[in-house]
Amino acid sequence: MKSLVLEKRRELIETVSEVDVELAEAFRNGNDISTSDLDGAIHRATIARKFVPIFMGGTRDPTGLGLLIYGVRSFLPSPIDVSNYALDQSRNGEKVELSGSIDGPFVALAFTMVHRML
């Protein structure tokens, strides 16, 4: 399996290098690409909306859930990394930029998910 894993890792590095200049330069120069270098490149490309990380696994596999949480924490933007907007209902739906700061007003989106077993 080691050779397959190394091959797939190289494919991932090549793919992310197509959308991240910093990783592309390191890859072209033949530098060793560390896990943190690759994670950083995936994070930057995800924020720029040039790359979408996809995770596979099942609900009964605790390892898959751990990888999903790692991916959310490592690759998705935090509220301070992106611009978010809301419609201020007290001002006739005026578009307002949200700061993402912990000192700012609390804003939340509530949703539910229904999963049915067949």
Question: Which residues have C-beta within 8 Å of that of residue 55, sequence separation ≥ 6?
Answer: 64, 67, 68, 71
User: Phi and psi of 18, rounded to 5°?
Assistant: -70, -20
Domain range summary for the chain, segments of one domain joined by +: 2-78
Residues 80 and 101: their CA atoms lie apart, in Å, by 7
Per-residue pLDDT for the chain (118 aa), expressed as one digit of tens each? Answer: 999 999 999 999 999 999 999 999 999 999 999 999 999 999 999 999 999 998 877 667 777 778 888 888 999 888 778 888 888 888 898 998 887 777 877 777 777 666 666 6
